[in-house]
Amino acid sequence: MSERSYRALSLVAVVAVAVGFGFAMAAPPERIQGEFAKIMFVHVPSAWLAFLAFGVTMIGGAVWLMKKTPIWDRVAASSAEVGVFFTALALLTGMIWGYPVWGTFWDWSDARMMSTAIMFFVYVGYLALRRSIPDPETRARRSAILGIIAFVQVPIVYLSVTLFRTLHQGATVVRADAPIDPVFLRALMINLGAFTIVYAAFMAWRVRLARLEDELEETEAVADFDIAGSGITAPNLGEVPGDV
């Protein structure tokens, strides 16, 4: 991708978010929750994008294990970082919404909140593991395995509202008889599209940065490597005494 493509993608992401924000603000207040319901337009896409990001991390790790191509490790790592960002955003917006609507920022008995928080910390651990391993191949292999194991969290978080009947509402949008007003659904889908473009932009920049980091690492490794050790100087092949 050229420099112009990166900038164009970023611009499209900014425009998409602005459009999404416009649709969210234009939606009428919800009958019971009022304006607070509009947090949903950030909360739900963030949670879905986190699932997508962690799915990409798992796929990236699995493909790296099969092909051993560095790009897949970069994709997996970048997606995990972006996924952690979206998970944090989903948790934060959920808590902001929860206080006026549920009366509390955090509900300990809520399966969705608890499982999402666990998922967040599992992927924070994934990123911490990556930072702890200097060797690129060992780092890629171990984090690929952890990325595959960690993905188990995603269906648990998704199904938590079905398996446990706690405070968080059940699946709404994916149901055939979706109990959501078409105006809200449209705004939600537009924001989901906008967040997906933001994810793509974040990924493009982060993968590029990861490639540059790898190149820098390689350059520094070569520069630091003294042939035969620094105690030996190269022979002088200039003038040889007695040579005519």
Q: Under the rule (CB under 8 A), what is the footprint of other proteins? A: 65, 114, 118-119, 121-122, 124-125, 128-129, 132-133, 137-138, 141-142, 145-146, 149, 152
**Minimum distance between the CB of residue 141 and other proteins, rounded to whole angstroms?**
4
Q: Report in angstroms how near the CB of residue 113 gets to other proteins at its nearest.
A: 13
- Distance (Å, whole) CA 42 – CA 188: 8
Query: Alpha-carbon distance 12 to 193, whole Å?
Result: 11
Task: Please check whether residue 90 is in contact with residue 54, taking contact to mean a CB–CB distance below 8 angstroms.
Answer: no
- By beta-carbon proximity to other proteins, the closer residue of 44 and 140 is 140
Residue reference for tokens 């911490």:
128
The residue (of 163 and 216) whose beta carbon lies closer to other proteins is 163
- Cα separation, 37 vs 96, in Å, equals 11
Strand partners, 178: none
Cα(172)–Cα(239) distance, integer angstroms: 85
Nearer to other proteins, 118 or 221 (CB): 118
Query: Considering beta carbons, is residue 137 or 181 the nearer one to other proteins?
Result: 137
Residue 34, strand partner residues: 30
CB of 18 to other proteins, least distance (A): 36
Alpha carbon separation from 131 to 27, 138, 146 (Å, rounded)? 43, 12, 14
- Min CB(83)–other proteins separation in Å: 15
Q: Which is nearer to other proteins, 122 or 188 (CB)?
A: 122
Q: How many residues does the chain have?
A: 244
Q: How far is the CB of 110 from other proteins (least distance, A)?
A: 12
Whole-angstrom distance, CA of residue 94 vs CA of residue 89 = 8
